[in-house]
Structures are given as structure tokens and as C-alpha cells.
Amino acid sequence: MKSFIFKSTLLIFTLMTTFLISGCLKGDFDAPPTNIPEIKDDQIITFDKMFEKLAVGKVTNIQEDKYLEGLIVADDKSGNFYKNLILHDTKGDKGITVSLDENELNALYPVGQIVYVALKDLAIGYFEGLPTLGINSGGTSVARIPAGLVRSVLIRSGRTAPVVPRKIAVTDLSSKHYNTLIELEGMQFETASSATTYADPTPADPQSVNHNVVNCQNQKLVLRNSGFASFAGQVVPSGNGKLVAVYSYYRSASQLFIRDTDDLTFTGERCSGTGGGGGITGDQIRIEALRSQFSGSPVTLTKGWVKGIVISDATNKNINGNNMTVQDGEFGIVLRFKAAINVPLGTEVKVGITSGSLSEFNNVLQVQNLENTNVEVLGAGNFITPKILTVAQIDVAKHESTLVKIENATLIGGTKLSDTGIKVKDGSGEMPLFTFATSTFGSLPLPTGSVSVTAIVSDFTTGKQLTLRNGSDISGGGPCDVNVANADCDGDGVANGQDCAPTNAAIFPGGPCNDGNAATVNDQYDAQCVCKGSAPGAGLNETFTGQAADKDIDLSGWANVAVKGNRKWQAKIFSGNTYAQATAFGTTAPADMETWLISPAINTATAGTLSFETAKAFYKHDGLTVWVTTNYTNDPGNTTWTQINAKVAGNADADNAFIPSGNVDLKSYGANVRVAFKYVGTQAANTTTYRVDNVVVK
């Protein structure tokens, strides 16, 4: 597994030639102590004094040899803040965002630490409307402080303090609260279903998501979560309670950022009804009766609510994000909300339609302009049985926005589902089948042979059409080759190559594969489509995945031995990558350290080529060497070792950058060998930190 390598651009200021320093914050390497300069009280200014230089439309150089004294109230530990720290004034009530061109700032600057900020060469301005401290790069927006200057600008005081948010009401929030940690009572997510996650952590394209949070007076705020946050894929809580967040601003609107999910205590009952929306009033209106109110002109609805089963599937993105289709008996209708909504397929809902507009859009009847808060979830897992019809029997006047099924049909007009011109054809006729190219299944190949199609009857300016909800709406078809990765041989809407729950057992689970690990053979896909070996092989492929962060490495077949001192190789995790790390920094008595990480036995007759990666930081000495033995005695000190001549990260290499070892031929060392990574260091001087990852023998 590769670790990310973050590169920073060193910006050299003509007034800062005395600030040439080395080192950075990358990874979670232990850091040598920072010398705390003597900063007198008369050198410290309040945030209010600094804000006197803040001006709209420009970046202002501070140019004073002064310091801020700030308490860190939010850092980048969870990934929801990117290259920013949020500081509170220890001498006032203001806050500021400090923009730094560095990752994993929390390693040196965690929440609760008091720091001094050297202002002389910094600048203050707005970044997308938010007051921010950084540098002046000649533009109208504040730029990040270069990585090489971080430690000289942001000075640890050696002191900590409790971080206490300011309790405040939504109505009292104003621009003076930007960049401060606040606490709001009685809040809840406007939409909180079992499928509502904080953000979209899809590995290929993580997406940040804005959620509305509301109180029981229907006062709303936007809560923004990054797709890179460690909690992005977690489901949001459905209850009501306390919310702690940083009050922020972006371009034209205020917004909130949480530091992690501990900032939400939504364990209480939700507001009466649906969160105080006030739109579920009057009596139930059956969807059949609601549709009959439309006679060609828009109708403003004054009261009432509808109840039905959700037959649309927002998760698979073949519907406008603000729309939801519900069916009540044999009648259905599209409900359009003011903001995106994601209520799972099969959910029974009660929806207030007060102030909605009953009108047509592209010939489809819908209720527009609905409040998201006016949705009450009544239950889940209630699925509508589609009406079995032929193409000729489908009548938009009767069946619009309801679920139907066409059997013994074929799909024609293209090669993939989202192609323009795809049609469903049976013995009675044919009609268009619509699929967004941006849907999760639009790129799937068009099934061949006889199929059954389940779809929502829709309309368009050109006439009636069918809309799929997800890939499983098409079943049957063939012939289909289970070994073709992009085919969907069980008709569940998931291509064979990504199908983790296939109904056709011949597809992937149980099928042969290659997990790339020479240490295992007889590889097969398991029920989660993870390729795993079922028998030991002769090689090795160790990425340290699964090891607990900050704990001693504990791997089957491996030995982790402290020969001197009491510190061993430990597992560390950064940006999702796990690796082994050793360092003498911060050791207590005994001062000397020697620790060995030793591989299992390797049969070089079948797997004889070794490679690995190493990284270093805070260089003080060459503390890492690599060895091999054929007679390991379970005691490194009483074993005969031969040193391997392989590339190991050294002083000339960049901090944190993983350096490939190159290929090492192990066959020359013997038929049955073990490889060892030996780290030596001392408490006082020899404290270089080393990482090891991706140890492969094949």
C-alpha cells in the first residue's frame, strides 16, 4: 500500500532569510521538541487589534513584530478541515482561520494546545468571504503559509487549555461568530434516513455534502462535510440534541463544520411531527384525489398531506436529486422539494403538501416547492408490487408515476443502458427506456435476449417513457459470460466485476482470483468480493494493513523484538495507509534502543526476489539496516545475520517520501531465509524516525 507523498512549495521571502529551517509535519513521525522563545506580554496583541487591518477586496500585510496567543479549537485530525487550523483568542472572544500548506497538522498542533502566531510576515484577508490569516501572494485572496515556515510562524507554547464552545441561539449568530466554536441546542438533520451519510466517500471521487440542520422552530443552518473526512461514509444520527461546530462562511452563505462525530449528541426525540416544519396540517388527501385537482393550470395547495410508498431510488441517481416518487394504491405522483432529498426505496412516508404547487413539468404531474422538513418516515421495507402490463396496455393517464413490469421483452437501440434511443420492445409494441448517463448503472451493457423490465411510468414532451430505478429492475437476458467483468449476468444492476452480492453463484464469490500476495495460494473471492488466499504460499506481501495504530506490530509468523530498551516497531496510520515505524525520539531510560522486525521463513526456491519501501524524517543518524539469516534462533542477538545491500531512505531523501529498495535476490543467501529490519538509536542524539512498508517477496 502506498503512502501519499505530499509536496510543498518553499516560498522564499526577501524579508525572511533568517527563517530558513528544515523539517515538516508530514506523517505522524515523532517530532523533536520546539524551543519556546521568550515572548513578552507587550509583544502579544488581541485578535481585535489584528482585525483592524482586515479590509474587503484586498490582502493586508500585518508588518508588525507582534504575536497572537491562540487556543486551537479545531484541527485536521478527522480530515473535515483541510490545511487549516481554527484559533480562539485567549485574550478575547474572536476566532481566526490559519491557512497552512501542510497536512496532518494535528500531529504537532492538536486541539487544546495554546500557540503563538508570529505575525510580522503574515497577511490577513478573506478567503471566499471568510476572514483568514496566511500570506500575501499578490492577489485578492489569502494564500497558505508555506510548509517550510510553519514551525517558525506557529510556535507551540507548551501549554494547553480546555476547549469550551460558546452556547448560542441560531437567531443570535452573526459574522462576529465566524471562526469560533459554537454550541447549538435542539438541532437535528432535516433529512436523516438509514441511507443518509455525512458525505460521499467514494474512493474514486469523494464528494463533500451540504446537509440542512434545523431546530424545532424550523430555523436552518448548513452543515458541510468533506468527502475526505474519516466519518464521511457514516450514517447521520436521526435524533435531536446538541451540536458543536465551527461557524464558518463560504462565498455567499454561512455554514457549519464539525470536527468529528463526537460534536453531535443527537440522542433525543425529534421535534414533533417532522422537525417543526409545520407543513403537515389538515387531512390526508389520497393521491388519486390530488391528481384530479389538476385541470391544466397550476394549483396552489392550501392544506393537507399525502401518504404513500417511495418507489424512486435516489441512491442510484436516475432521478433528479430534489424529486421523490410515491405511490398510494394504484396511483402515484412526483413530489419535488426545495433541496435534495434521499429517502430510501420502499420507505412509507407522510408528506405535508401545504403551499405546494400542483403543476406539470415536461408533461409529468408533480407537487413542487415542498419543504424537506415536511417528510415524516412511517416505516421501511414496504415495497410496491409492480402491475404486469404489456407496452400497449401502458396508459399515461392511468399509470403515470406508478410501478409496472413488462415481461418477455427485449431491449433495443444501443449498447449500454444510458444510450439515447434505448427502447423496451414486446409483442405489443415498443416505448423509450430512460436512464441518466450519471446514474450508477447507466454504463452497464445492454442485456441481450428475453428480459423482464420493472420501471416507473413517466412522460416527456415526446410522449410516454419508462424510467429505471436501478440495475436490478432488469432481469433475465442472455447468453451472458460470467467471466466478462462489465457484464451483469444475474441482472441485479451490478457488473460482474463489482458484484459483491450476486444471485448467480458462478460470478465472483468462490471464483478463482489472484490477490497479488505471494504468501498465499488457491486464491478465491469471498462473499464480500475480497480476493483471499486459502493456503500458505512461499512468498510474502506485507502492507501492515489491519494493525492497530500506535500499537506494537503483531503479525502471525513475524517477530518484533526489543534487544535494547523497551520500544519495538509500532504500527502507524496516515491517510489510510498503515506502515511500521521505529524511532528513539522521546525514549526514557534505558537510553539505548535496538529493535528488530523479522519476517516469516521464505522458501527462496519458489519466491526469491525481495523489495520494500522505507521513509525517514527528522534525520539525525543512519539508524535502519536490513539483514537476512538462515538460522533464526528466536533471539536476534544469538543469530548469525548477513546485511543486505539495498536502498534505504537516507539524509539526502525528502522527509516522509517512501523510497523503493529495488529488487534484492535472496536466493544467494540460502534456500530458507528470514528478512529483518533492524533499528538502532539513542535517546539524546540518534533519534531519526524510520518507516517500513510494502515488504514483498515473489
pLDDT band at 504 (very low <50, low <70, confident <90, very high): low
Averaged over 106-129, what is the pLDDT?
93
Which is nearest to 601 in space by CA: 645, 644, 633? 633
pLDDT band at 9 (very low <50, low <70, confident <90, very high): very low
Write down the residue that cell numbers 539513542 correspond to: 682
pLDDT exceeds cutoff 60 at 403:
yes
pTM higher than 0.75:
no
pLDDT band at 489 (very low <50, low <70, confident <90, very high): low
pLDDT exceeds cutoff 90 at 186:
yes
| Same-domain status, 551 and 689 | yes
What is the predicted pLDDT for the residue at 480?
A: 59
| Same-domain status, 414 and 552 | no
Domain tally for the chain? 5
Domain boundary among 254, 275, 296: 275
CATH number at residue 132: 2.40.50
Cell digits of residue 697: 517477496
**Residue 261: phi, psi to the nearest 5?**
-70, -15
| Same-domain status, 568 and 425 | no
Query: Which residues are paired to 328 by β-bridges?
Result: 331
C-alpha span between 556 and 552 (Å, rounded): 13
pLDDT band at 291 (very low <50, low <70, confident <90, very high): very high
| Same-domain status, 222 and 139 | no
Which is nearest to 614 in space by CA: 583, 641, 647? 647
138 vs 636 pLDDT, higher one = 636
C-alpha span between 669 and 132 (Å, rounded): 59
CATH number at residue 603: 2.60.120.200
Write down the residue that cell numbers 537510553 correspond to: 591
Write down the residue that cell numbers 389538476 correspond to: 294
Task: Confirm whether 75 is domain-assigned.
Answer: yes
Rounded to a whole number of angstroms, the CA Rg of the chain reads 31
Task: Confirm whether 178 is domain-assigned.
Answer: no
Share of the chain above pLDDT 90, in %: 53
Q: Is the peptide bond before 479 cis (omega within 30 degrees of 0)?
A: yes
User: Which 3 state secondary structure label does DSSP give 18?
Assistant: helix
**Which range of residues forms the domain containing residue 312?**
287-379
Per-residue three-class SS string for 463-526: EEEEECCCHHHEEECCCCCCCCCCCCCCCCCCCHHHCCCCCCCCCCECCECCCCCCCEECCEEC
Residues in the chain: 698
Cα dist from 504 to 103, 229, 259, 375, 391, whole Å: 45, 35, 43, 38, 29
Among 23-37, 161-175, 250-264, 464-478, the range scoring the smallest mean pLDDT is: 23-37
| Same-domain status, 415 and 451 | yes
667 and 608 Cβ atoms separated by less than 8 Å: yes
| Same-domain status, 406 and 440 | yes
371 vs 691 pLDDT, higher one = 691
User: Which 3 state secondary structure label does DSSP give 251?
Assistant: coil
| Same-domain status, 550 and 686 | yes
C-alpha span between 83 and 26 (Å, rounded): 12
What is the predicted pLDDT for the residue at 253?
A: 84
Domain boundary among 232, 250, 275: 275
Task: Confirm whether 506 is domain-assigned.
Answer: no
Task: Confirm whether 90 is domain-assigned.
Answer: yes
What is the predicted pLDDT for the residue at 482?
A: 66
What is the predicted pLDDT for the residue at 281?
A: 77
Among 120-124, 214-218, 411-415, 537-541, the range scoring the smallest mean pLDDT is: 537-541
Task: Confirm whether 495 is domain-assigned.
Answer: no
| Same-domain status, 223 and 83 | no
Average pLDDT, the chain: 85
Domain boundary among 424, 449, 476: 476
| Same-domain status, 307 and 350 | yes
Among 61-65, 259-263, 269-273, 496-500, the range scoring the smallest mean pLDDT is: 496-500
Cell digits of residue 565: 530498551
Dihedral through CA 273, CA 277, CA 279, CA 281, nearest 10? Answer: 40
424 and 434 Cβ atoms separated by less than 8 Å: no
pLDDT band at 266 (very low <50, low <70, confident <90, very high): very high
User: Which 3 state secondary structure label does DSSP give 334?
Assistant: strand
Between CA 198 and CA 208, with CA 202 as vertex, the angle to 5 degrees is 45
What is the predicted pLDDT for the residue at 524?
A: 65
Which is nearest to 50 in space by CA: 111, 85, 83, 95? 95
Task: Confirm whether 486 is domain-assigned.
Answer: no
What is the predicted pLDDT for the residue at 413?
A: 85
Cell digits of residue 328: 398510494
341 vs 38 pLDDT, higher one = 341
Task: Confirm whether 10 is domain-assigned.
Answer: no
Task: Confirm whether 552 is domain-assigned.
Answer: yes
Q: How deeply is 515 buried, as exposed, middle or buried, from its count of CB atoms within 10 A (0-12, 13-18, 19+)?
A: middle
| Same-domain status, 39 and 136 | yes
| Same-domain status, 685 and 567 | yes
CATH number at residue 410: 2.40.50.140
The number of angstroms, rounded, from the C-alpha of 293 to the middle of its chain's C-alpha atoms is 45
pLDDT exceeds cutoff 50 at 12:
no
C-alpha span between 646 and 143 (Å, rounded): 41
Q: What is the DSSP string of 42-68?
A: GGB--HHHHHTT--TTS-EE---S-EE
| Same-domain status, 410 and 436 | yes
Give the containing element (helix H, strand E) for 248.
strand 240-250
Residues 57-72 as b/e (b if ≥16 CB within 10 A, e otherwise) read eebbbbeeebbbbbbb
What is the predicted pLDDT for the residue at 522?
A: 59
pLDDT in tens, 639-692: 999 999 899 999 999 888 999 999 999 988 988 899 999 999 998 788 899 999
pLDDT in tens, 150-179: 999 999 998 999 999 999 999 899 989 999
